Amino acid sequence: MIAANGRLGRVFVAEALRRGHMVRAGVRGTHDFPKHPNLQVVPCDATNIDDVIRLLEGQEAVVSAIGHVKGSASDVQTKATEVVTQAMNKLNITRFVDVTGTGVRFPGDRITLVDRFLNLAVSLVDLNRVNDGIEHVKVLQGSSLDWTSIRVLKLQNVKPRKYALRLHGPTKPFVGREEVARAMLEVLEQEAFIQEAPIISYT
């Protein structure tokens, strides 16, 4: 798990452990993970190839919750994805799952008015953030990985509700982090949406 001590990462780790998975959590800076027999915490800068290789050695799949936070580089998701892809190739790991915004578009997407408005607002305030999501998917598309990039309009700390993963949406306007964590585990466990970018949608 890349960026395991971020807001989404912590939720993912908790859900993965609840389901009985073994988790190696890559963290940057401090963390407050409680001790767990199935959890190993490893310091990791996702843009440092040596750190990433050390984190990923011996793993079956890689999950990333890299996103934009205060002080992060404008292309942090793209740069981290390039490094992770390189490390995975070196270690012969093929399965990769991450999350990105619905500003990443594909032909056939059902774009709602709310989706269009919120992405326009983000583009006006922080265009680099939208472009970073787009460019990071291009890195995945150019790789040989069995990747899945789950698209979300806006992450919230709300109670999880029923959702569906659909290739072209439409998107739910607000999505809880628990829903995203469950969706990431769902595609991992079911080997679903290989080399695709589904949207978290309504049931």
pTM: 0.94
**Other beta carbons less than 10 A from residue 157's beta carbon:** 9
Per residue of the chain (203 residues), what is the pLDDT tens digit? 999 999 999 999 999 999 999 999 999 988 889 999 999 999 999 999 999 999 999 999 999 999 887 777 889 999 999 999 999 999 999 999 999 999 999 999 999 999 999 989 988 888 888 999 999 999 999 999 999 999 999 888 888 888 999 999 999 888 999 999 999 999 999 999 999 999 998 87
CA distance 136 to 22: 27
> What residues contact 186, with CB distance under 8 A and at least 6 apart?
165, 192
Structural domain boundaries in the chain? 7-201
* Cβ neighbour number for residue 118 with a 10 Å cutoff: 19
pLDDT in tens, 84-105: 999 999 999 999 999 999 999 9
CATH topology of domain 7-201: Rossmann fold (3.40.50)
The rounded Cα 121 to chain-centroid distance in angstroms is 22
d(CA 25, CA 4) in angstroms, rounded, equals 5
pLDDT tens string 113-142: 999 999 899 888 888 889 999 999 999 999
Tokens of 109: 């997407």
Under DSSP, the state recorded for 171 is B
How far apart (Å, rounded) are the C-alpha atoms in residues 114 and 116? 5
